[in-house]
Structure 1
Amino acid sequence: MPLNASASVRIARPSRDLGAAERFWVGGLGLDVLYRHTTDGTTPGEHSLLMVGWPDATWHLELVHDPAAPVDPRPTPEDLLVIYLGEPVPDSVVGRLEDHGGKRVPAHNPYWDTWGVTVRDPDGYLLVLSTRTWSNA
Structure 2
Amino acid sequence: MYPVLRVARPTNDLAALLPFYRDGLGFAVVGQFEDHAGFDGLMLGHAQAPYHLEFTRERGQIAGGAPSADHLLVLYLPDAAEWTAAVQRMRAAGFAPVPAHNPYWDQQGLTFEDPDGYRVVLQRAAWTQ
Give the shorter-chain TM-score range.
Answer: 0.7 to 0.9
Once the two structures are superposed, residues 63-115 of structure 1 have per-residue CA deviations (whole angstroms, 9 ceiling, x without a partner) of 01112223222331221000000034324123134x1xx44210011110001
CA distance in 2, matches of 1:95, 1:23: 12
2:108 aligned with 1:112: no
2:97 aligned counterpart, secondary structure:
strand
CA contact (8 A) 2:29 2:43 kept: yes
Stretches of structure 1 lacking an aligned partner (at least 5 in a row): none
Q: Which has the larger radius of gyration?
A: 1
The letter for the 2-side match of 1:114 is Q
Matched position secondary structure for 1:105: coil
Conserved in 2, the CA contact under 8 Å of 1:83 and 1:130?
A: yes
TM-score, with normalisation over the residues of structure 1?
Answer: 0.83
Check 1:103–1:67 CA distance in 2 against 1; reply closer, same or farther (3 A cut): farther
TM-score (norm 2): 0.87
Equivalent residue number for residue 47 of structure 2: 55
**Equivalences for residues 53-92 of structure 1 within 5 A:** 53-88=45-80, 89-90=83-84, 91-92=87-88
| Aligned partners of 1:103 and 1:121 also within 8 Å | no
Q: State yes or no: 1:28 paired with 2:54.
A: no
Confirm or deny: 8 A CA contact 2:41 2:56 kept in the other structure.
yes
Q: Percent identity?
A: 35
Task: Give distance in 2, aligned partners of 1:23 and 1:74.
Answer: 18
C-alpha displacement of 1:6 = 1.6
The number of aligned residues is 125
CA RMSD of aligned residues (A): 1.7
